Amino acid sequence: MGEVHVIAHPLVQHKLTLMRRKDTPTSGFRQLLEEIGMLMGYEVTRDMPLSTETIETPLEAMEAPVLEGKKVVLVSILRAGDGILTGILKLLPSARIGHIGLYRDPKTLVAVEYYFKIPEEIEDRDVIVCDPMLATGNSAIAAVERIAAAVDRQLNEKGYILPGLGDAGDRLFGTK
Ligand code: URA
């Protein structure tokens, strides 16, 4: 398991509190998850390598920085990962996208895969896994480094995070 890196940035913490509130409507929850996705995307891309290329400004030529790293694949863990994905995609609009559908077996809490569609040649790309709720961690086992807005106290007997956000997929899509 990789390290957990908590983002203490006041904007992330404030937005997370708004998301936690049980009265926050679907529209607000969706907007906030996208915004937190952008802020986390900013953090997770902090060390992306740069090279330079020669460009022409209207006044002169210059050596200007450009991302030199491998192409990026964003992998969303369905369903709630899509909320974060929308935010990060604003920063990396040409990223390829993969989806992994997992549900949690209510008895064993083990993640069971029901959908898997990932771009080809993923080995040659940098992968960012988007999953807002790392409860047992089973659904994000492929992630090497985890970026979290907060580490919550505990899981309940159904594997839900306490105090948590509730079912993030339901709150994102208004399905409950
Ligand atoms: N997934 C959720 O949506 N909520 C939790 O608390 C845990 C996993």
Rounded CA separation 84/30 (Å): 9
- The answer to whether residue 97 is domain-embedded is yes
User: pTM above the 0.85 mark?
Assistant: yes
Kindly state if the Cβ of 140 falls inside 6 Å of ligand 1: no
Q: What is the pLDDT of residue 142?
A: 43
Ligand 1 centroid to Cα of residue 170, in Å, is 10
The CATH number linked to 69 is 3.40.50.2020
Ligand 1 centroid to Cα of residue 90, in Å, is 25
The tally of domains found in the chain comes to 1
Distance from the first to the final alpha carbon of the chain: 33
Kindly state if the Cβ of 168 falls inside 6 Å of ligand 1: yes
Give the residues of the chain that fall short of pLDDT 50. 142-144
Q: What is the pLDDT of residue 141?
A: 58
- The answer to whether residue 5 is domain-embedded is no
Is the Cβ–Cβ distance between 133 and 145 less than 8 Å? no
Q: What is the pLDDT of residue 2?
A: 63
Rounded CA separation 26/174 (Å): 6
- The answer to whether residue 82 is domain-embedded is yes
- The answer to whether residue 75 is domain-embedded is yes
Residue 102's domain spans which residues?
Answer: 10-173
Q: What is the pLDDT of residue 143?
A: 43
Q: What is the pLDDT of residue 144?
A: 44
